[in-house]
Structure 1
């Protein structure tokens, strides 16, 4: 069983921000910004590469709810998902990082 499945099952404690029947959002234990949360589906999917578009539609709505709950929509936030080894994925369970609460930089090559 993967790390995030153990969190979902309650075997590993977390600081929950928001949850519903399909998704869970909790604080990252190694934050890269003032606000750094992880958003995961409660059903195991290895990565973004294997999900159906319907799941992302539901996840988008959930991410909006999280952003509202954290009060970060006005100033902005970054969402990131890493896919497989070359994409930097460390836990093989689909997860979205939401970073906010301060300027979180810009992507390489992006114009400011």
Structure 2
């Protein structure tokens, strides 16, 4: 096959191609820009900002759109479990009494991860009234958490009860709007869960001791 080049084509004029080459190399941008520290920080910052807005909405705005407390009980997953325990003892319930019931988290963040749920529908620790009854409830939940963790880790020699991590998600960090205490034993499954989601020194999670101090301080 014979190719005929037009006289105006750069291929037919090597000198013209040589002149265009520097211009081509200077103005051609890569299709995928290189990842820089600035772009990485902006991406992480955007992620945390979006997450914070979501939590803030749940904590301060969502109340305006919620139904009555009684209607919430019919759609609350933890209230549904609480009603089931009044009829029978589901095999996933590890412990129950007149105030709380305990079961494993369906998405465990550590080797042993349990939830201690109040039978009464209280939205979260932020809406927990500052009363002596609330202090007694939190104390009881903490006591039960340690009791159940001791039981399920009894055969694990690597577990030290002193390393238990126990507490609540703050109002903007909850996945279920029903008061529940988290109890952890053993290694966490990810750095993020250990140092962000369930870190009592971070803004999302509060330890039971810090919660009790808050209630006692504001009781009178």
Q: TM-score, normalised by structure 1?
A: 0.77
Task: Note closer, same or farther for the CA distance 1:29–1:23 as it changes in structure 2 (3 Å cut).
Answer: same
Structure 2 regions of 5+ residues with no counterpart?
1-72, 129-133, 154-158, 203-220
Asked which structure has the greater CA Rg, the reply is 2
**Who is 1:79 aligned against?**
166
Shift of 1:82: 1.1
Structure 1 regions of 5+ residues with no counterpart?
none
Asked if residue 46 in structure 1 is aligned to residue 123 in structure 2, the reply is yes
Q: 1:30 aligns with which of 97, 100, 107?
A: 107
Query: Stretches of 4+ moved more than 4 A in 1?
Result: none
Distance in 2 (CA, whole Å) between partners of 1:44 and 1:73 is 32
Shift of 1:93: 0.5
The answer as to whether partners of 2:150 and 2:161 remain within 8 angstroms in 1 is no
SS at match of 1:29: coil
Q: 1:97 aligns with which of 172, 176, 182?
A: 182
Aligned residues: 107
Distance in 1 (CA, whole Å) between partners of 2:124 and 2:80 is 17
Greater strand content: 1
String of CA shifts for 1:56-88, please: whole Å, max 9, x gaps: 122222222122222355362212311222xx1
Distance in 2 (CA, whole Å) between partners of 1:56 and 1:9 is 21
Q: TM-score, normalised by structure 2?
A: 0.42
Task: Note closer, same or farther for the CA distance 1:29–1:5 as it changes in structure 2 (3 Å cut).
Answer: same
SS at match of 2:169: coil
SS at match of 1:39: strand
String of CA shifts for 1:24-75, please: whole Å, max 9, x gaps: 1101111111111111111111111233212112222222212222235536
Asked if residue 61 in structure 1 is aligned to residue 143 in structure 2, the reply is yes
Asked if residue 20 in structure 1 is aligned to residue 71 in structure 2, the reply is no
